[in-house]
Structure 1
Amino acid sequence: LGERHVNMIAFSSTIGIGLFLQSGKIMYLIGPGGAVLAYLFMGTLLWSANASLGEMTAVFPVKGPIIDFPSRYLDEGVGFAVGWMAWFAYINLTATEVSAVASLFKFKFEPEYLASFSYPQETLQWTFGLNTNPAVWVGMMLLGILAINLLPVRAYGEIEYVCGCIKLIVIVGIIMMNTIINANNTRTNGTSHFQLYQLPWGFFSNQTVTDPSGGRTYTFTGGTGRLVGMWSAMNTIFFSLQGFFTVSVTAAENKHVERDEAIKLATRKVSLRVILLYVLVVFTVGLNVPYNDKNLQDQTISSIRRGQNSPIIIACIHNSIVGWPHFFNAFYIFSAFSCGVNGLFIASRLLHALASIRNVWPNTGWGANIKARLERTSSKGVPVNAVFVSWLFGLLGFLAVKPSPARILGRMAIFSTCSMLIVYACVAISFLYFKTRTINGDPDEGVLVSTPEGQFLNRNASDYPYKSHLQWLRSAYALFGCCLLIIFIGWRAFLNPFSHADFLAAYLSV
Structure 2
Amino acid sequence: MGADQIVTVASAIRFQYADDRTFISWATGMNTNPAIWISVFLVAVVILNMIPVKYFGEFEYLVGCIKIVFIVMLILTMFILNVMEHWNTPYGFFNPIHQVKNESGTLDQIITGSTGQFLGVWTACTRAIFAYTGMDMVTITAAESKALADSEAMKMASRKISLRIITLYILCVLTASFLVPTDHPFINGEGQSTGSRSIFIIAVVEAGLPTLAQFFNAMFLFSAATCAADNLYVASRVLHTLALRDQTGPEWITRRLRQCRAGVPMRAVLLSAAVMLIAYLGPTGATGARLNELSSNCTVSFLVVYTTICATYLCFYQSLEEAKQYGNTSQTQAATYDRNHVRYPYKSHAQWLKAGYGMAACIIMLIFNGVDSFMTTPFDVRTFIASYISIPVFLLLIVGYKIRRHGFRFSQWGPERSKDLRNCVQVSSDKRKGRLDLVDPVLSFENVKRLGVWVWVWTK
Task: Give the TM interval when normalised to the shorter protein.
Answer: 0.7 to 0.9
Partner of 1:427: 309
Pick aligned residue for 1:449 from 306, 313, 334: 334
Alpha-carbon separation, structure 2, partners of 1:136 and 1:447: 61
2:360 to 463, 469, 480: 480
Which residue number in structure 2 is paired with residue 96 of structure 1? 4
Q: Which amino acid aligns with 1:109?
A: Y
1:278 aligns with 2:169: yes
Shift of 1:472: 0.5
Aligned 8 A contact 1:114 1:317 in 2: no
Question: Of 359, 366, 379, which residue of structure 2 is paired with 1:498?
Answer: 379
Task: State the one-letter code of the partner of 1:323.
Answer: T
Return the match for 1:316 from 204, 207, 227: 204
Could you say which residue in structure 2 is the equivalent of 1:17? none
How far apart, in 2, do the equivalents of 1:434 and 1:382 lie?
32
Q: Counterparts of 2:125 and 2:192 in 1: how far apart (Å)?
A: 17
1:61-91 CA-to-partner distances (Å, cap 9, x unmatched) read xxxxxxxxxxxxxxxxxxxxxxxxxxxxxxx
Return the alpha-carbon distance in structure 2 between the equivalents of residues 308 and 420 of structure 1: 27
Find the partner of 1:368 among 219, 229, 251.
251
8 Å CA contact 1:100, 1:304 repeated in 2: no
SS at match of 2:348: coil
> Cα 1:305–1:429, aligned 2, differ >3 Å: closer, same or farther?
farther
| CA shift for structure 1 position 501 | 3.3
Distance in 2 (alpha carbons) for counterparts of 1:436 and 1:97: 38
Structure-2 residue corresponding to 1:437: 319
TM-score (norm 1): 0.70
Structure 1 residues 124 and 162 mapped into 2: Cα distance closer, same or farther (>3 Å)?
same
Which residue type is aligned with residue 482 of structure 1?
A: C
Contact 1:316 1:322 in 2 (8 A): yes
Q: Structure 1 segments of 4 or more deviating over 4 A?
A: 213-216, 404-410
Gaps of 5+ in 1: 1-92, 451-455
> What is the Cα deviation at residue 102 of structure 1?
1.3
| TM-score w.r.t. length of structure 2 | 0.77
Of residues 396-405 and 172-181 in structure 1, the stretch that sits farther from structure 2 once superposed is 396-405
Which residue pairs with 1:241 in the alignment? Answer: 132
- Report SS of the residue matched to 1:218: strand
Q: Secondary structure at the match of 1:323?
A: helix
Please state whether the residue corresponding to 1:284 is helix, strand or coil. Answer: helix
Contact 2:91-2:177 within 8 A present in 1 as well: no
Alignment of 1:98-497 (within 5 A): 98-110=6-18, 113-115=19-21, 123-183=23-83, 185-186=84-85, 191=86, 195=87, 198-205=88-95, 206-212=97-103, 217-298=108-189, 306-358=194-246, 360-362=247-249, 367-378=250-261, 380-403=262-285, 407=289, 410-439=292-321, 448-449=333-334, 457-495=337-375, 496-497=377-378
For the pair shown, which has the larger CA radius of gyration, 1 or 2?
2
Residue 437 of structure 1 deviates from its aligned partner by 1.9
Per-residue deviation, residues 8-46 of structure 1 (Å, max 9, x unmatched): xxxxxxxxxxxxxxxxxxxxxxxxxxxxxxxxxxxxxxx
Q: Do the aligned residues in 1 keep the contact of 2:92 with 2:181 (CA within 8 Å)? A: no
RMSD: 2.6
Q: Distance in 2 between matches of 1:323 and 1:404?
A: 27
Name the amino acid aligned to 1:488.
Answer: F
Question: Partner of 1:109: helix, strand, or coil?
Answer: strand
Structure 1 residues 150 and 446: alpha-carbon distance in aligned structure 2, compared to 1, 3 A threshold: farther
The DSSP-based 3-state class of the residue aligned with 1:295 is: helix
Deviation at 1:201, TM superposition (A): 4.4
Query: How far, CA to CA, are the matches of 1:152 and 1:404 in structure 2?
Result: 40
Q: Equivalents in 2 of 1:438, 1:506: separation in Å?
A: 36
Asked if 2 retains the 8 angstrom alpha-carbon contact of 1:399 and 1:405, the reply is no
- Paired residues of 1:102 and 1:137 also in contact (CA < 8 A): yes
Cα 1:409–1:318 change in 2 (3 A) is closer
Structure 1 residue 403, shift from structure 2 partner: 2.6
Deviation at 1:416, TM superposition (A): 2.9
- How far apart are residue 394 of structure 1 and its match? 1.5
Contact persistence 1:432–1:472 (CA under 8 A): yes
Cα distance change of structure 1 residues 462 and 419 upon mapping to structure 2, 3 Å threshold: same
State the distance in 1 between where 2:107 and 2:210 align: 40
Corresponding residue for residue 413 of structure 2: none
Pair 1:420–1:266, CA change in 2 (3 A) = same
After superposition, what is the alpha-carbon deviation per residue over 1:83-105, rounded to whole angstroms, capped at 9, x for unaligned? xxxxxxxxxx1111111111112
SS of the counterpart of 1:437? helix
2:99 alignment partner, SS class: strand
Secondary structure in 2 aligned to 1:331? helix
Equivalent position SS for 2:135:
helix
Identity %: 34
Q: CA separation in 2, counterparts of 1:499 and 1:345? A: 34
